[in-house]
Structure 1
Amino acid sequence: MRWFYDFFFPVVWIVFLVYWQVMARNVKTTQRLEPAALRITRMLLFLIAIILLSYPRIPIPWLYWSFLTSSVWTFYGGAIITVGGLLFAIWARLHLGRNWSRSVTIKQDHELIVSGPYALVRHPIYTGILTGFLGTAIATTQLRGLVVLALIFIALWAKLRLEEQWMREHFGDSYGAYSRRVAALVPFIL
């Protein structure tokens, strides 16, 4: 049974990333793309996060301090939260269809999607991914999980800010009305 505890989260995240890569095909043509420096910075933050979660022997002792008591409940609770978050992100990705992009872009014939998960939050993919990392942090019960969650939040918040600016420029008042009606990441809160 120990193998399940050791491999569950890596397998879940790898399956998610492979799915994300496969689904990156068949999207609309990009008309405007964020600067390369922003994409590279975000990739570096994600790489640091992966290293922090993947290597249990980084010589920074406080990363391994517990913020929760490790138990079967934290493991399975974290697993359920992770899977739920990633499924929410997948639902949002599917609902967005050909308008999706891994970078901040404006697509040819870009559409403003406000239904499905986009009726709950303006950035449901980010909500799902952050929820996935929250679940992983709960399951690890170590501060490194919270550090990773903070790094991913910073990366996605910076992306969200640029995306919001471009959506307001591109869609004008209709995006403004949408953003007043629907929270960015957490329904009714943030």
Structure 2
Amino acid sequence: MNDMEEELLFRVVFIVTYGLFFVVRVYFRIYKFYKDRKESTRIEARDEPKEYGKLPKIGIAVIILGYLISAIVYVLIPEHIVWAQFPFPALVRWAGCAVSIMTIPLLAWIHITLGKHFSPDLVMKDNHMIVTSGPYSRVRHPMYTVLITFSIGVSIISANLLLIAFSALLVMLFPFLARQEEQMLLDGLGEEYGQYMERTGRFFPRLRHKEK
């Protein structure tokens, strides 16, 4: 297999991997989520929700847009960013593929665990409860963990430094978003959430609980 054929293969792998992740994301985030909301008691957001965090929305939008544009260009017109290609060994790129694919069933597990409690918005709701089953029994933000891991994995598949750079910027956003969410839940749920934080890790399970 020559270099051009190998690059085409990895671009196809990138598309398939991203496509599978996208299908799962769309199914649970849109169709299943809204179907569940129609069939169950609607959980309303509290009046006048408090805003958390001051990271400019335009900054987040620029990073996300840059990432998406880089991915689209890599797939459709890669010759325009060939200058950013890095000669990763094929084994490294296949490892990125394996890591990315492993996140897909984890994403489904997280959405199934959350069920009707999933929300794309950072807002407290009436009768807000902490989900502590499934992956949430050990980790507070497994969704962010999956998104971080997938972003890194597919950028490695691409072996494109531009996509890797935007992935790195995306990854840097998640600790900020996690702190926002944790502060909101501490304000809203108090000691209950504080105790949950003590026995769980932010993105990965704790090796042991904190000593009291």
The count of corresponding residues between Structure 1 and Structure 2 is 186
Counterpart AA for 2:66: I
Which of 153, 170, 173 is matched with 2:171 structurally? 153
- Residues 4 and 101 (structure 1), Cα distance of their counterparts in 2 relative to 1, 3 Å cut: same
Residue in structure 2 matched with residue 11 of structure 1 by the alignment: 19
Cα RMSD between the aligned structures?
Answer: 2.9
For residues 166 and 39 of structure 1, the distance between their equivalents in structure 2, rounded to whole angstroms, comes to 18
Counterpart residue identity of residue 178, structure 2: L
SS in 2 for 1:121: coil
Change (3 A) 1:112 1:38: farther
Whether contact under 8 Å (1:39, 1:103) holds in the other structure is no
Q: Which residue of 1 aligns with 2:45?
A: 30
Alpha-carbon distance in 1 for matches of 2:26, 2:185: 28
2:156 counterpart of 1:138: yes
For the 8 Å contact 2:64–2:170, the answer to whether it is kept is yes
Structure 1 residues 174 and 58 mapped into 2: Cα distance closer, same or farther (>3 Å)?
farther
**Deviation per CA, 1:119-178, whole angstroms, max 9, x where unpaired?**
221001111111111211221223234313222223322221110101111111121121
Tell me which structure has the larger Cα radius of gyration: 2
For residues 19-47 of structure 1, what are the alpha-carbon distances to aligned partners after superposition, in whole Å with 9 as ceiling and x for unaligned?
23324422622223647986665344222
Checking the alignment, whether the CA contact within 8 Å between 1:29 and 1:108 is kept in structure 2 is yes
How far apart in 1 are the matches of 2:160 and 2:81?
12
Match of 2:206 in 1: 188
Aligned to 2:65: 47
In structure 1, C-alpha distance between the alignment counterparts of 2:65 and 2:104, rounded to whole Å: 18
Give ranges in structure 2 of 5+ residues lacking alignment. Answer: 1-7, 208-212
| Equivalent in the alignment of 1:106 | 124
Percent of aligned positions with the same letter in both sequences? Answer: 23
Find the partner of 1:126 among 134, 137, 144: 144
Bigger mean CA deviation after superposition, 37-46 or 130-139: 37-46
- TM-score (norm. length: structure 1): 0.80
Question: 8 Å contact 2:45–2:123 — kept in the other structure?
Answer: yes
| SS of aligned partner of 2:132 | coil
TM-score by length of 2: 0.73
Which of 5, 23, 30 does residue 21 from structure 1 map onto? 30
Stretch of structure 1 that moved more, 154-163 or 173-182: 154-163
Runs of 5+ consecutive residues of structure 1 not aligned to the other structure: none
Q: Which aligned segments of 4 or more residues in structure 1 are displaced greater than 6 angstroms?
A: 58-62
Q: Is the 8 A contact 1:168 1:176 kept in 2?
A: yes
Aligned position for 1:83:
101
Check whether the contact 2:14–2:158 (CA below 8 A) recurs between aligned residues.
no
Alignment of 1:68-79 (within 5 A): 68-69=88-89, 71=90, 73-79=91-97
Question: Out of 166, 181, 184, which is 1:166 matched to?
Answer: 184
